[in-house]
Chains A and B, each alone.
Chain A
Amino acid sequence: MISDFPVLFPVVSWGMNQSFDTLFPLRKGRTHEVCGPAAPAFACALAGQARMRVLWITEHWQSAQINPTGFGEYCPPDRVLTASVKDQTDGLASTEEALRSGAVGLVVIELTKPLTLLAGRRLQLAAETGQSTGLCIIPDGMGSHAAETRWRCSPVFASGDSTLTRWEIIKNKSGTLSGWDVKWDAKTHRVSVVSKVAQQ
């Protein structure tokens, strides 16, 4: 008797074919995760399309840095603040503070160690209070359970197009997983979907 089973897994309301536009820009008041080589571009595209101010938190030993002359066509550099912190604890505390205040629309933190459930949940609550978006750039396979969505972004080689990127959503708390080949359209200042990636 199937109908006698309690409903353990609520059915997602918008069904299987969630469109890209409902997922991106990412849901406000939540913390999301992104991994892969094109993760910085994902963050910049998000800030650019949603026209948000960004606080970008890195640990000070990290030698790679985002280049304003490079991400300038995604989001204006004068809307970006960077914070370099001593360790991940300081970084998470700063992220929480910034998310809670709501003074910046997007807080990006580059994580190097896995997030505990407690820390992830705290970020969610802080984002909810401040109605801002949090985005953790994580190494591959280091996601936390508390994240609302998780994305993997990798550049794609294509003849005649040197900006194509594959964005796959690999975790989604309120919908299905999918993938798209996208590129940044500097004129309309938004991400345009080139094609949907076939499900494996």
Chain B
Amino acid sequence: MQKRIVSVWFPRLPSNRVLRARPVDGPFVVTIHHKNADRIYCLNAAAEGQGLSHGMPFADARAFCPDVTSDIADLDADDRFLRMLLRWAKRYCPWVGLEGRDGLTLNISGAAHLFGGEAALLDDLRMRLTRAGIEARLGLADTRGAAWALAHFGQGIAAVGQSKSRLAPLPIAALRLKEKTCVALQRLGVRRIGDLKTLPRSTLTRRFGTEVVMRMDQAFGLQPEQITPELDAPHYGVRMTIPDPIGLFDDVMEGVKRLLDRLCPKLHRHEQGARMLVLELRRVDQARERVTLRLAQPMCDAARILPLFERGVQDVDAGFGIDQLRLVATQTDALPAQQITHASNAPDTGLEDLITRLGTRIGLDNIKRFLPAESHIPERSFITAPAAVTQPTDGWSTDRSRPMVLFPPEPIAGAGQQPPSRFRWRQMALTTGRATGPERIAPEWWLPDDEWRSGVRDYWKIETTQGRRLWLFYTPQKPAWFVQGEFA
């Protein structure tokens, strides 16, 4: 069968994306920071009409056109938007690939008749895109190269076998050549694709390398060119509809179990583990109850996940009954298969399950572990990080005597460089029995910290005759005494 390819070019994708959410009348530009200035990255037709152009510094643009509105480019969002369009374009044919950052390629061979012919298909495509607020240029030809050329330079359909004649009057840039090659060809007086075809191939190859000949062959179908269809990201969601509404705890848990039995093999197949699961329960009165479960580590084991749902499901108000259950793994992490040997110690599943269960009550981020940090500042010599996303690490240094409990500095009365022999702290009268120190710690100037504005600190370990062993410090640059910790 003759291949038929549609090339779709979105000339104003970034601005269309922004304007879809927030329509603006009048000139609008999307700016990007490039070469030390905010420059115009994409602009709408009204802005183009005012004389603005792509790549122009935004400051100049505002001088030309004071009422221009702007937004900052978000390349990731553009990419996501293009992929969304790709998924949508699969309504026309199953074989859709990306074309650079701003286009799509559809292989509609054998699919056009479903929409009433090629012209009708293109009309439908254009109508739907326009209705969605997206400008598009379309080209249809036998090859990807020819379709691209038509989309970018003069739109339309090249009938089967007519690519050569349709492409002949187009400029050579339509062949997807590098800019340098284009300029070189134009200097030689070769401006149109038709001119290029009259030149001998061997001369072209000797002068420009294989690029020009390759692009020409691709456009005319002498050399094949693939379209890579983008796979949909796997969707980790399952649902179950029940003919009679249920409301008992055991029944719902049985439903969750069956959903997990379907979801977990899918996760396992893709070597993924669920990090966050959302169970949505639709009641007969159309209200929805949601149970969110955040896991302490990626998991794809149904038997372990099921009991973790118990607490959440208990709190659900079933109303007049639940008739649909939906379970989605909204967040997944890689969980590669692991070799089980006698040497590798079995993973400690008990602790992780405990962290998950506690996390459902007090929040997973509130369960932390200590990690060592490179700093002499007492309160920065360790960091606390959520236990669910970190691994325990070694490397603690205990060469200096440090207090067991730290608290924010509490001022005490005292004067002079030497620690006070008597002082009051937390309404206790204390007498210094032995003082060890000073240990001078300087603030880390590269990190701003309001606590350390008072400059260097001289730390003393004070053993009081009453028993308490305190960690005092003196700030010589702003004389004052403080208590910051207590030793064991």
Q: Which of B77-85, B119-127, B393-401 lies at the interface with chain A?
A: B393-401
Q: Please, which residues of chain B bring their CB within 8 A of the CB of A103?
A: 348, 350-351, 353-354
Q: Please, which residues of chain A bring their CB within 8 A of the CB of B485?
A: 67, 70
Interface residues on A, range: 35 or more
Where chain B touches its partner, the secondary structure class is mixed
Report if A97 contacts B (CB, 8 A).
yes
Give A90 to B361 CA distance when docked, in angstroms.
8
Asked if B434 and A162 make an inter-chain contact with CB atoms under 8 angstroms apart, the answer reads yes
Q: Which residues, 52 to 88 on B, are CB-close (under 8 Å) to A?
A: none
Q: Please, which residues of chain B bring their CB within 8 A of the CB of A41?
A: 404, 488
Q: Please, which residues of chain A bring their CB within 8 A of the CB of B361?
A: 90, 93-94, 97
Give A102 to B403 CA distance when docked, in angstroms.
30
Asked if A66 and B405 make an inter-chain contact with CB atoms under 8 angstroms apart, the answer reads yes
Q: Please, which residues of chain A bring their CB within 8 A of the CB of B366?
A: 60, 83-85
Q: Please, which residues of chain B bring their CB within 8 A of the CB of A70?
A: 402-406, 485, 487-488
Q: Please, which residues of chain A bring their CB within 8 A of the CB of B402?
A: 67, 69-70
Asked if A90 and B378 make an inter-chain contact with CB atoms under 8 angstroms apart, the answer reads no
Report if A35 contacts B (CB, 8 A).
no
Q: Please, which residues of chain A bring their CB within 8 A of the CB of B355?
A: 81
Q: How many residues on B have C-beta within 8 angstroms of the other chain's C-beta atoms?
A: 50
Q: Which of A11-19, A141-149, A150-158 lies at the interface with chain B?
A: A150-158
Q: Which of A22-30, A72-80, A116-124, A171-179 lies at the interface with chain B?
A: A72-80
Asked if B367 and A63 make an inter-chain contact with CB atoms under 8 angstroms apart, the answer reads no
Give A154 to B466 CA distance when docked, in angstroms.
10
Report if A38 contacts B (CB, 8 A).
yes
Known: A44-B488, A65-B407, A155-B467. A78 touches B393 (CB 8 A): yes
Q: Which of B197-205, B212-220, B381-389 lies at the interface with chain A?
A: B381-389
Q: Please, which residues of chain B bring their CB within 8 A of the CB of A38?
A: 488
Give A66 to B487 CA distance when docked, in angstroms.
10
B interface footprint on A79-104 (CB within 8 Å = 1, 0 otherwise): 11111111000100110011001111
Give A69 to B387 CA distance when docked, in angstroms.
18
Cross-interface CB contact of A155 among B369, B378, B396, B469, cutoff 8 Å: B469
Asked if A165 and B405 make an inter-chain contact with CB atoms under 8 angstroms apart, the answer reads no
Q: Please, which residues of chain A bring their CB within 8 A of the CB of B433?
A: 157
Report if B270 contacts A (CB, 8 A).
no
Report if B102 contacts A (CB, 8 A).
no
Asked if A94 and B405 make an inter-chain contact with CB atoms under 8 angstroms apart, the answer reads no
Known: A70-B402, A101-B353, A155-B467. A78 touches B394 (CB 8 A): yes
Asked if A69 and B398 make an inter-chain contact with CB atoms under 8 angstroms apart, the answer reads yes
Asked if A40 and B404 make an inter-chain contact with CB atoms under 8 angstroms apart, the answer reads yes
Cross-interface CB contact of A64 among B351, B405, B434, cutoff 8 Å: B405
Give A84 to B363 CA distance when docked, in angstroms.
9
Report if A114 contacts B (CB, 8 A).
no
Report if B416 contacts A (CB, 8 A).
no
Give A163 to B396 CA distance when docked, in angstroms.
21
Known: A73-B398, A101-B354. A82 touches B463 (CB 8 A): no
* Contacts beyond the supplied A81-B368, A83-B366, A157-B464: 6 A-B pairs with Cβ under 8 Å: A37-B486, A38-B488, A67-B382, A79-B392, A156-B467, A165-B488
Can you list 29 pairs linking A and B with CB atoms under 8 Å apart?
Answer: A37-B467, A38-B488, A60-B366, A64-B407, A67-B402, A67-B405, A68-B370, A69-B381, A69-B398, A70-B403, A70-B404, A70-B488, A78-B370, A80-B369, A80-B370, A81-B368, A82-B369, A83-B367, A84-B368, A86-B362, A94-B358, A97-B354, A102-B350, A103-B351, A155-B487, A157-B465, A157-B466, A162-B436, A163-B488
Chain A residues within 8 Å of B, Cβ to Cβ:
37-38, 40-41, 44, 53, 55, 60, 63-74, 76-86, 90, 93-94, 97-98, 101-104, 154-157, 159, 162-163, 165-166, 184
